[in-house]
């Protein structure tokens, strides 16, 4: 804990709210929010939350239901190419609900429920009840179901590979060896992709205390050493004095294989551990030594692929074998071509080191990605809004949305199976912003023209809202009561309604309840409960669940009185799959062999055209610096933004303060800037064959040569160039990224495999319109 620790403060009497970026005390005057203050129990509060104050009630706020003009005048499917450009007509709630209900009924009757896409991927808000996707999915299930999406943009490739190798995904991701264990016991923390302090500001579902950075610092003070393999120096938090290995992006699997090669060559691998806990090592070893394919995966081999000297790799392997080592792989490694391979290779290497199950040793997935990863806590489960049953079986891997819309009734493969894309007529989105999160946005813009109707719940005029046919304005966390009830955090917080809803905004729940009434399914949607009754049900059910695990939570009235509670944290640091390590026969993993699968026979049995290898292997990414023939010679890293969560609050004061002349910074190494005659502060265009993105140049040796960095999150501000390319005036890097799946097996997003070029933008700078509302027609 650093000096910022405040155990009580002058704000203790103000109402509480919780967000994905932390818990705050809210100050309001005359029904307007004037400030958000740190929560006294938060040792390292994030400033991100303050960004909402000036935009809660600003011109970018959606205050009434609206319908795109030609959709309203001529019906579904009209001028879908005008989405994002046409004016909206303001309508009453009753008119909007009637339109939505009759359009859903039409699509159901004419095409069946599978023609409704309710994937609605994204983060929405932190309260347990007003979780927009849970509301949407429950509602759509009440009317007969919807085509869903599986997995995330965060780590889709890991979600597919981990069940094969370690038996499940969620348990591994949120049952990792805790950072307390790292702080107490790790001697060498080897990180691929860093431990970026900026990302620990975030916790999906909310948090009470930002503790992770403090724990890393504690490990350092105890004497732990840190190595960061990453294209960006600041990916490892500064306070731990890490040694930086500035590897070529996309080369991690090669380095991991070479580390395995060194262990084998010097007989440093733990053969007893391998025999007792894993299956398939011999076939992997034959691949690593080159016995099976003629290519030894030696340090020299990896050096030419990664730009990390062979001697450095060899020394690292020896240090890893002789220290208590935590091998940490970031989630970002999964968001690139063959993103499953670095994870499989890392698990294999950690198995060879034989430290899985020991305090501070083994492998970790995404330490530092959020405040929840490696959080020491009671392993509890809490109640969530029941989803009902989806009567439709169709699904897509989440990042295949453009493929689905553009190629209805065609086949795709995923995790060894064969499936067909449904023919989608209606898209319903509540929570999440595909015009932020998806790759190759020009392709998405075309795909988005396919459905006849797009219905969106949003609170602000972001790019998604502007691309809707029917937009229904929802409340924010400050305008409704809720509970922060996050099983991955020791705090529970009663979130208060601080101000009345702005304009005619309504809670997602009430919007769905009213549409459900029009569609005669109100009883099954609400079960006779209003929001308060549901929240009480959620809390009381969760309290019972906790009691079953021996954890006593206060009753609801006491909780309301204090506002928050912190559940006691167990003294003994949590260790991943400790029970399996204790006794692999009694507590086998949920894999085909019950052991760690260095070779997966299940994957080996997949059809040949699925192009899957039975163990971790090196595959050259489709786009990377290793391909000297590519006409674009800079690797673009589009990582998480410091000043916001994705696109949320991009229009707020905190995010705007991080921009330069209203646009996003693009960071480039001094050598690359000099070679191009570029200077700090230049307005530049980042481009490739897919699109163009404007930004302002920052010259810094924080990035390695040949790499440029541009954070995600800027609201797409589109402009078409004379030759028909999508240009973002503001700085959304997803106009540049490609829309290919990570692999035929995992089908995740691969945004981080992306090459670009950067030149000065010599035309007159186009004016910024990202935060302007569309033209609105009132009747």
The footprint of Mo ion (CB under 5 A) covers 154
Among 198, 615, 669, 690, binds ligand MGD (CB under 6 A): 198
The reply on whether position 688 binds ligand MGD by CB under 6 A is: no
Catalytic residue from among 21, 24, 123, 344: 123
Catalytic residue from among 11, 121, 244, 461: 121
Question: Whose CA is closest to 113, among 329, 457, 388?
Answer: 388
Measured from the CB of residue 432, what is the shortest distance to Mo ion in angstroms? Answer: 11
Closer of 132 and 581 to ligand MGD (Cβ): 132
Among 211, 542, 737, 746, binds ligand MGD (CB under 6 A): 737
The encoded tokens of residue 432 equal 């999440």
β-strand 22-29 against 16-19: which pairing, if any?
antiparallel
Measured from the CB of residue 20, what is the shortest distance to Mo ion in angstroms? Answer: 11
Among 186, 199, 341, 746, binds ligand MGD (CB under 6 A): 199
Distance CA 597, CA 221 (A): 36
Question: Whose CA is closest to 686, among 761, 762, 763?
Answer: 761
Measured from the CB of residue 606, what is the shortest distance to ligand MGD in angstroms? Answer: 25
Closer of 456 and 589 to ligand MGD (Cβ): 456
Which residue spans within 393-437 are E strands per DSSP? 395-397, 411-414, 417-420, 426-430
Query: Is 614 in contact with 603 (CB distance < 8 Å)?
Result: yes
Closer of 80 and 638 to ligand MGD (Cβ): 638
Region of 26-34, 90-98, 460-468, 523-531 interacting with ligand MGD (CB under 6 A): 460-468
Measured from the CB of residue 471, what is the shortest distance to ligand MGD in angstroms? Answer: 10
The reply on whether position 484 binds ligand MGD by CB under 6 A is: no
SS3 415: coil
Picked from ligand MGD, Mo ion, none, the partner binding residue 688 (CB below 5 to 8 A depending on kind) is none
The reply on whether position 122 binds ligand MGD by CB under 6 A is: yes
Considering only residues 59-78, where is the footprint of ligand MGD by CB under 6 A?
Answer: none
Among 145, 194, 451, 481, binds ligand MGD (CB under 6 A): 194
Name the β-bridge partners of 282.
Answer: none
Measured from the CB of residue 14, what is the shortest distance to ligand MGD in angstroms? Answer: 22
Closer of 159 and 415 to ligand MGD (Cβ): 159
Name the β-bridge partners of 456.
Answer: 429, 471
Q: What is the DSSP string of 431-500?
A: S--HHHHSSSHHHHHHHTTSSSEEEEEESB--HHHHT-SEEEEB--GGGS-EEEE-TTSSEEEEEPP-SP
The reply on whether position 205 binds ligand MGD by CB under 6 A is: no
Q: What is the size of the binding site for ligand MGD (CB under 6 A)?
A: 64
Among 177, 306, 712, 747, binds ligand MGD (CB under 6 A): 712
Query: Is 341 in contact with 313 (CB distance < 8 Å)?
Result: no
SS3 138: helix
The reply on whether position 626 binds ligand MGD by CB under 6 A is: no
Closer of 149 and 613 to ligand MGD (Cβ): 149
Region of 211-219, 290-298, 413-421, 426-434 interacting with ligand MGD (CB under 6 A): 426-434
Among 24, 192, 512, 687, binds ligand MGD (CB under 6 A): 192
The encoded tokens of residue 372 equal 């929840």
Closer of 278 and 332 to ligand MGD (Cβ): 332
Find all residues with CB under 8 Å of 499, minimum gap 6, and list them. Answer: 28, 31, 32, 33, 56, 478, 479
The reply on whether position 337 binds ligand MGD by CB under 6 A is: no
Measured from the CB of residue 668, what is the shortest distance to ligand MGD in angstroms? Answer: 14
Picked from Mo ion, ligand MGD, none, the partner binding residue 229 (CB below 5 to 8 A depending on kind) is ligand MGD
Closer of 42 and 252 to ligand MGD (Cβ): 252
Distance CA 778, CA 773 (A): 14
The reply on whether position 331 binds ligand MGD by CB under 6 A is: yes
Measured from the CB of residue 166, what is the shortest distance to ligand MGD in angstroms? Answer: 19
Closer of 286 and 657 to ligand MGD (Cβ): 657
Region of 182-190, 265-273, 299-307, 452-460 interacting with ligand MGD (CB under 6 A): 452-460
- Give residue number: closest CB to Mo ion: 154
Residue 123 known to be catalytic: yes
Tell whether the torsion through CA atoms of 30, 32, 37 and 42 is positive or negative.
positive
Among 19, 212, 370, 746, binds ligand MGD (CB under 6 A): 370
Query: Is 622 in contact with 629 (CB distance < 8 Å)?
Result: no
Measured from the CB of residue 366, what is the shortest distance to ligand MGD in angstroms? Answer: 6
Find all residues with CB under 8 Å of 263, minimum gap 6, and list them. Answer: 269, 317, 320, 321, 349, 352, 353
The reply on whether position 458 binds ligand MGD by CB under 6 A is: yes
Question: Whose CA is closest to 347, among 364, 368, 330?
Answer: 364
The reply on whether position 201 binds ligand MGD by CB under 6 A is: yes
Residue 121 known to be catalytic: yes
Picked from Mo ion, ligand MGD, none, the partner binding residue 249 (CB below 5 to 8 A depending on kind) is ligand MGD
Scan for tokens 């610096």, then name that residue.
Answer: 625
SS3 content of the chain, % helix, strand, coil (to 5): 35, 20, 50
Closer of 424 and 649 to ligand MGD (Cβ): 649
Measured from the CB of residue 152, what is the shortest distance to Mo ion in angstroms? Answer: 6
Task: Give alpha helix (H) positions in 527-681.
Answer: 531-548, 556-562, 578-582, 601-604, 653-657, 670-676
Distance CA 510, CA 532 (A): 12
Closer of 332 and 475 to Mo ion (Cβ): 332
The encoded tokens of residue 690 equal 């897919």
Picked from ligand MGD, Mo ion, none, the partner binding residue 264 (CB below 5 to 8 A depending on kind) is none
Question: Whose CA is closest to 502, among 23, 39, 58?
Answer: 58
Closer of 328 and 535 to Mo ion (Cβ): 328
Find all residues with CB under 8 Å of 338, minimum gap 6, and list them. Answer: 157, 253, 619, 621, 742, 743
The reply on whether position 430 binds ligand MGD by CB under 6 A is: yes
Closer of 359 and 713 to ligand MGD (Cβ): 713
Distance CA 697, CA 666 (A): 5
Query: Is 277 in contact with 271 (CB distance < 8 Å)?
Result: no
Question: Whose CA is closest to 718, among 694, 738, 686?
Answer: 694
SS3 165: helix
The encoded tokens of residue 43 equal 């040792």
Backbone angles phi, psi at 68, to 5 degrees: -60, 135
The reply on whether position 487 binds ligand MGD by CB under 6 A is: no
Backbone angles phi, psi at 444, to 5 degrees: -65, -40
Measured from the CB of residue 533, what is the shortest distance to ligand MGD in angstroms? Answer: 19
Question: Whose CA is closest to 422, among 442, 441, 445, 450?
Answer: 450
Picked from Mo ion, ligand MGD, none, the partner binding residue 115 (CB below 5 to 8 A depending on kind) is none
Closer of 69 and 436 to Mo ion (Cβ): 436
Among 374, 431, 563, 614, binds ligand MGD (CB under 6 A): 431
The reply on whether position 125 binds ligand MGD by CB under 6 A is: yes
Region of 25-33, 180-188, 259-267, 324-332 interacting with ligand MGD (CB under 6 A): 324-332
Q: What is the DSSP string of 639-682?
A: ---SSSBTTBTTTSHHHHHTSBTTB-EEEE-HHHHHHHT--TT-
Enumerate binding residues for ligand MGD (CB under 6 A).
Answer: 122-125, 130, 132, 153-154, 192-194, 196, 198-199, 201-202, 229-232, 235, 247, 249-250, 252, 330-333, 335-336, 366, 369-370, 430-433, 436-437, 457-460, 462, 464, 474, 508, 637-642, 645-648, 712, 733-734, 737, 751-752
Q: Which residues are catalytic?
A: 121, 123
């Amino acid at each position: 804990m650093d000096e910022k620790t405040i155990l009580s403060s002058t704000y203790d009497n103000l109402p509480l709210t919780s967000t994905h970026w932390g818990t705050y005390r809210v100050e309001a005057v005359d029904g307007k929010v004037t400030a958000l203050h740190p929560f006294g129990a938060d040792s390292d509060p994030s400033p991100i939350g303050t960004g909402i104050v000036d935009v809660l009630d600003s011109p970018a706020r959606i205050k009434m239901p609206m319908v795109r003009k030609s959709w309203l005048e001529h019906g579904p499917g009209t001028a879908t190419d005008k989405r994002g450009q046409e004016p909206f007509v303001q309508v009453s709630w009753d008119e909007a609900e009637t339109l939505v209900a009759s359009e859903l009924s039409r699509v159901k009757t004419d095409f069946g429920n599978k023609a409704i896409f309710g994937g609605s991927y994204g983060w929405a808000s932190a309260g347990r009840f007003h979780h927009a996707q849970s509301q949407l999915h429950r509602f759509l299930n009440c009317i007969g179901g919807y085509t869903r999406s599986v997995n995330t943009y965060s780590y889709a490739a890991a979600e597919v590979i981990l069940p094969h190798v370690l038996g499940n995904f969620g348990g591994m991701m949120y049952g990792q060896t805790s950072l307390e264990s790292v702080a107490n016991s790790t001697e060498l923390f080897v990180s691929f992709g860093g431990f970026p302090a900026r990302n620990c500001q975030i916790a999906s579902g909310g948090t009470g205390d930002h503790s992770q950075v403090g724990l890393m610092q504690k490990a350092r003070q105890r004497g732990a050493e840190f190595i960061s393999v990453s294209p960006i120096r600041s990916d490892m938090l500064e306070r731990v004095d890490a040694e930086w290995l500035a590897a070529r992006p996309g080369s991690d699997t090669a380095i991991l294989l070479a580390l395995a090669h060194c262990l084998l060559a010097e007989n440093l691998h733990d053969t007893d551990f391998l025999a007792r806990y894993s299956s398939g090592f011999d076939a992997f070893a034959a691949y690593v030594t080159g016995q099976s394919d003629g290519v030894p995966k030696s340090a020299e081999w990896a050096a030419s692929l990664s730009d990390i000297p062979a001697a450095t790799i060899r020394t690292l392997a020896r240090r890893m074998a002789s220290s208590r080592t935590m091998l940490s792989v970031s989630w970002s490694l999964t968001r690139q071509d063959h993103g499953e391979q670095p994870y499989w290779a890392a698990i294999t290497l950690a198995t060879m080191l034989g430290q899985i199950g020991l305090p501070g040793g083994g492998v970790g997935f995404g330490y530092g990605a959020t405040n929840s990863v490696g959080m020491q806590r009671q392993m509890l489960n809490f109640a969530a809004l029941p989803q009902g049953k989806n009567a439709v079986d169709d699904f897509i891997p989440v990042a295949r949305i453009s493929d689905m819309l553009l190629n209805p009734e065609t086949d795709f493969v995923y995790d060894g199976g064969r499936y067909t894309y449904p023919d989608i007529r209606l898209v319903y989105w509540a929570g999440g912003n595909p015009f932020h999160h998806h790759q190759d946005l020009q392709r998405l813009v075309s795909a988005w023209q396919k459905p006849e109707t797009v219905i969106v719940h949003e609170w602000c005029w972001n790019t998604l809202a502007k691309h809707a046919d029917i937009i229904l304005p929802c409340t924010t966390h400050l305008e409704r009561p809720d509970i922060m009830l996050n099983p991955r955090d020791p705090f529970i917080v009663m979130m208060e309604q601080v101000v009345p809803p702005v304009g005619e905004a309504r809670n997602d729940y009430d919007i769905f309840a009213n549409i459900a009434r029009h569609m005669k399914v109100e009883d099954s949607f609400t079960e006779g409960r209003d929001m308060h009754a549901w929240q009480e049900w959620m809390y009381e059910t969760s309290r019972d669940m906790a009691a079953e695990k021996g954890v006593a939570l206060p009753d609801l009235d006491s909780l309301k009185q204090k506002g928050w509670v912190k559940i006691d944290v167990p003294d003994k640091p949590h260790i991943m799959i400790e029970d399996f390590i204790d006794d692999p026969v009694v507590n086998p993993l949920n894999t085909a062999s019950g052991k760690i699968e260095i070779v997966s026979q299940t994957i080996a049995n997949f059809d040949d055209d699925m192009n899957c290898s039975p163990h971790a292997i090196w595959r050259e990414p489709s786009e990377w610096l290793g391909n000297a023939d590519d006409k674009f010679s800079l690797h673009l890293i589009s990582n998480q933004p410091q000043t916001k969560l994705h696109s949320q609050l991009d229009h707020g004061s905190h995010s705007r303060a991080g921009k330069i002349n209203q646009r996003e910074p693009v960071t480039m190494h001094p050598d690359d800037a000099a070679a191009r005659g570029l200077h700090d502060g230049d307005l530049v265009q980042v481009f490739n064959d897919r699109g163009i993105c404007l930004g302002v140049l920052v010259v810094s040796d924080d990035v390695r040569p040949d790499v440029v960095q541009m954070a995600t999150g800027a609201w797409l501000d589109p402009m078409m160039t004379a030759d028909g390319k999508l240009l973002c005036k503001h700085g959304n890097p997803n106009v540049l990224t490609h829309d290919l799946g990570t692999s035929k097996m995992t089908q995740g997003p691969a945004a981080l495999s992306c090459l670009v070029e950067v030149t000065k933008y010599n035309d007159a700078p186009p004016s910024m319109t990202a935060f302007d509302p569309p033209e609105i027609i009132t009747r």
